[in-house]
Structure 1
C-alpha cells in the first residue's frame, strides 16, 4: 500500500534520514523503533508532507505523494500525536468532527460518527460537550484517536501516541488499541522508542539508527534472527520478557505432551503467549494447563517444566 524509496532529509549538516527504503502492506501495523534522533518521526512526517523530503519517493497506492495536494493528502491520512494535539477551545465533539466538517459531511452523519467513536473508545456520550482540560490524559488520547479515525482514513500515522501516559493507563489503552476492530482495517505506521510497546503492537518492526534501517521484520525475526550485533544489543535488556511475550503456545506444539481427553477446566488457546501462560499457572495455583488448538482440533498439556523444555527445543530449532 505504501512504498518508500531512497527517502532522504537533512537539517543543516545533520542527515536525519539517509536513503531509506521500505514497503508497508495494506492493513499492516509497522512500528518505527529506535533511539531518539534516529529519524523515526522525520520519516513519519514526510509521509503526510508535514516535512518535505530532500530526495526519494513516497508512493501510496502507486501515486507519489509529492505530486498531490498536501491538504487532500492529509484529509485521507489520520494523524495521532503524543500530546494528542486537541484544540483546547473546541469541545470533544468539535475536535472529532474537524475532518468530516472539511469534507462537508452533513450534520446527522457527523453526529452519528461522533457517538459511534465515543462508544468504541469507551468514552461516555455525555463527554461530547466537555473540553480537553476536563479530561484525563488517557481520555484526551482516546479523543485524539477518535479525531484521527473520524473520516475513515485508510492510513493512520501515530507519533509516540501513548508516550505521555502513565504505565497503567498506557497498558489499558494498548489493550483497547489491539481489540478495536476498526483499527484492524487500517494501515498503521507508529513511531515509538518503547521496545515493549513495539513488540506488543507491531506486525512488522523497522529498527532504525542514524537515519537508516538496521533491520525490518516480524518481532520474532529481530529476536531470533538479528541481522547484526546492534540489534542484539538494542534488545538485550528486555530479551527475556520479549521472548516470553512473543512465543505462543502453538509455536511449541510439537514439544508438548498430547492430551487424550479434553477437559473444559483450566484451558487456554494455542495463541496464548508464554508470558500469559505463566501468569495463568501462577495466578490459579495449578500445576498444568490444557491447551487447545481449535483449528487443528487438538489438545496439549503444559506445566512449568514442560513449558521450559519446549521453549528450549523451540529456540534450538529456530536457531538451526
Structure 2
C-alpha cells in the first residue's frame, strides 16, 4: 500500500466507519437509504486509491501480506464474535429468539457468506474476504495491463449480469467482488485526476460536496436501500452512479475538513482502527444496549427507527471502542493482523 500520508482519506475513513456503525444501529429508513447508497463502495474506492504496484513486486509477496492483514483478522474476529454470540447473544436479549443452529455460522465462516444467517454472529465480516478477493484479482489482472479502463468496464458488465442473472452465491464474496472491483480499480485509476480536483479551494470543495451529495440523495430516495452483501442493488446503474457521487462528495468534504482544522490525530486514530471497529462494533452495541435496558430501564423500543437514539448509540459504541482498541493494540495486535504494538500510526489501506 501507499505509505504517503493522506489526511483527507483518514477523515473519509473515520466518517465512513461511523456510518457503518450508525447504519447497523437501526436508524430511520431514510437514513439507511443515504448511508447504504455509498458507504461500502467508499472503502473499496479508498483501498484502490492507496494501492501501489511498486510496493509489492511479486504476487506471492502481496498475497502473503494481505492474507495476514485481512484473513488473519477474519479468523480471529469470527472466533471471538461467534463465542460472544454462542455464550451471550444467543441466550439474552433479542437474539435469544432467533432460531439459528449453532453450526450454521461455522459453515458461514468457511464459505464467507454473509447472508441467510451464515455470519449471524457478525455479518460485517463479509467485507474482509471480499476485499481480499478484490485485491488478488486486481493485482493479477491489472498489474501489467495498459487498458485498465477497458477491464474496469468488463467487470462492470460482469457485475451487471451477475446482479440480474446470478443465482449461486460464490465463496468469499466473489460475486460481490465483481461490483467491488469496479470501485477499487476506479480509485486506483482516477487517483491523479482526483488529486487535481481536490486541489481546489475550500469554497469549490464545499460546492462539489453539496452538489454530489444532492445527486446521491435524489438517487437514494428513488433507488431504495442497496446492500452489497446481499447483492441487492435495485437499479444497478443508479446504484453505481449514486455510490460514486456519494464517495466523491465525502472525499471533497473530507479535504475541506483537512484544510480547515489543524489537528486530526483523533481522526487518524479512528481511521487506523477501522478494522477493529468493523469487527467489534456489533458486540459492543449489544453490550451498550443491554446496560441501558437492564441497568437503566431504557425501553428497548426507543432505539428502533429513531435518529437521535440510533445516533447516540453509535457515538456510545465508538467511545467504548477506544479502550478496547488500545488494549488489543498493546497486548494482542495479531487479532488485527498487526506485527507491532503501535496503535496510533495512521493507516494506509
Q: Same fold (TM over 0.5)?
A: no
Hey, which of these two has a bigger chunk of strand by percent? 1
Structure of larger gyration radius: 1
Band of TM-score, shorter chain: under 0.3
Q: TM-score, normalised by structure 2?
A: 0.22
Q: TM-score, normalised by structure 1?
A: 0.23
Hey, which of these two has a bigger chunk of helix by percent? 2
